[in-house]
Amino acid sequence: MSSTAGQVIKCKAAIAWEAGKPLVIEEVEVAPPQAMEVRVKILFTSLCHTDVYFWEAKGQTPVFPRILGHEAAGIVESVGEGVTDLQPGDHVLPVFTGECKECDHCKSEESNMCSLLRIDPDRGVMIGDGKSRFSINGKPIYHFLGTSTFSEYTVVHVGCLAKINPLAPLETVCVLSCGISTGFGATVNVAKPKKGSSVAVFGLGAVGLAAAEGARVSGASRIIGVDLNSDRFEQAKKFGVTEFVNPKDHDRPVQEVIAEMTGGGVDRSVECTGNINAMISAFECVHDGWGVAVLVGVPHKDAVFKTSPVNFLTERTLKGTFYGNYKPRSDIPGVVEKYMNKEMELEKFITHEVPFSEINKAFDLMFRGEGLRCLIRMEN
């Protein structure tokens, strides 16, 4: 075991003390892992839009002070009682949702929505004893999505850690722990486009471009990118996007524009914005008889999906997906292998890098809409 096993570790963490205020790097105490928990040394993390959403705390229960962060890669420092499939030194990706391997969802081949460990943004404590593993001067600092990767060390439930190939570069594969797997999996696991088919992708941020990458890897011949920001179109070509539509350039619904471009509609569409109108357009732009639309973006809680039932009767299919339909422990190691075997590209998603001490710059980049993923390099 490591020399720190069983002891409290003092390290640096970026703390969100209140909504919308810059993170503050401070020394925290990280307690040892309890039963079925693992303490992980985080080496790389990145900023995802979900972190910003809960940091702003405009539409949900505010939980502060809190350590955000959920897209990351690290190395196991020590394990708690009952943990058998991980040991110190293992390379892992923490994931915001889990796989207990025992509930009905985990036993189902179709679902990845673990009953025990599925995403719970309101929970700021560990599931085992309802307490936080982080503290400053004896006062608890709350967890985020069970991961809290904006800390040099964090404690995670074993079911939320994917053990990966130790040869994989952590600074690159860290992006697979959230957004890239979500978009890529939505296409390859759920939309399942056939070789030579047409795919429309709504929203060309990191998740949408990962969906386009999935279409490219699947052999789609036409990948139509839809976005309100025409500046994103040039970059999207690197991800296989062949044509672009900006809905603002047209005076009729974008689904009609796409239907005309494709002789009746695309074979598959993937919606990655969470905008309810984009969701409806993504469904209505697929071809009758065989078209499949997949929803990835998270809508406003009061949003209502409105379309004519005739669109279903004419054999269009609407699906939703969560984390690309991947089970974290069973499937994500295989996605890392896809990257290692050069079957998918990841480097192009990482457009910026900052040291941990300058983590607030990553937030600034996201607010300015610059780049896709900003890698945050821990300095421990």
- What positions carry a catalytic annotation? 48-50, 70-71, 100, 103, 106, 114, 118, 178, 373
Q: How far apart are CA 57 and CA 51, in angstroms?
A: 10
* CA-based torsion, 216, 218, 223, 225: positive or negative: negative
| Residue ranges in 13-158 assigned as alpha helix (H) | 49-56, 104-107
- Distance spanning both ends of the chain, measured CA to CA: 20
Q: What are the CA-CA distances from residue 300 to residues 21, 59, 342 (Å)?
A: 23, 9, 37
Q: What backbone phi and psi angles, to 5 degrees, belong to 99?
A: -145, 100
Estimate to the nearest angstrom the gap between the alpha carbon of 22 and the chain centroid: 22
Burial class (CB in 10 A: 0-12, 13-18, 19+), 130: exposed
**For residue 92, what are the β-bridge partners?**
74, 163
Which secondary structure element, helix H or strand E, spans residue 236, and what is its range?
helix 232-236
